[in-house]
Amino acid sequence: MNAGALELALKRQRLQIASANLRSDFGRHAAGLAPAFGAADCALEGARWIGRNPQLVVAAGVALAVVRPRRAWRWGRRAFVGWQAWRRLREFLDRQPA
């Protein structure tokens, strides 16, 4: 190998070692966020499950309406307000340039 190629190979190796050290440091520093990411993963999986099984959510809502109609009305209003807020937020975010 000529001197230029050898120098480039050494520089590449040093960059790879530095990159490995940075990844290791990031992993150690981000370990405290693992519970939050785990909770977010659990919530996302729950939302996917609800998307796959909407009939169970409707059945639970009907059962609640039969057993506790006042509470069902209150939760229905909250769900409607939350849904409206979510729609507005999505529309706002979609209008923003990337």
Core vs surface per residue 57-69: b (16+ CB within 10 A) or e: eeeeeeeeeeeee
- Amino acid 64: pLDDT: 87
8 burial via Cβ count (<10 Å: 0-12, 13-18, 19+): exposed
Q: Rg of the Cα trace of the chain?
A: 26
pLDDT over 90 at 41, yes or no:
yes
- At residue 3, does pLDDT exceed 90? no
Question: Rounded CA gap, 95 and 86, in Å?
Answer: 14
**Torsion angle of alpha carbons 76, 78, 84, 89, nearest 10°?**
-150
Residue range 61-71, pLDDT digits in tens: 899 889 999 98
pTM: 0.48
The CA dihedral of 77, 79, 81, 83, to the nearest 10 degrees, is -150
Q: How confident is the model at residue 75 (pLDDT cuts 50, 70, 90)?
A: confident
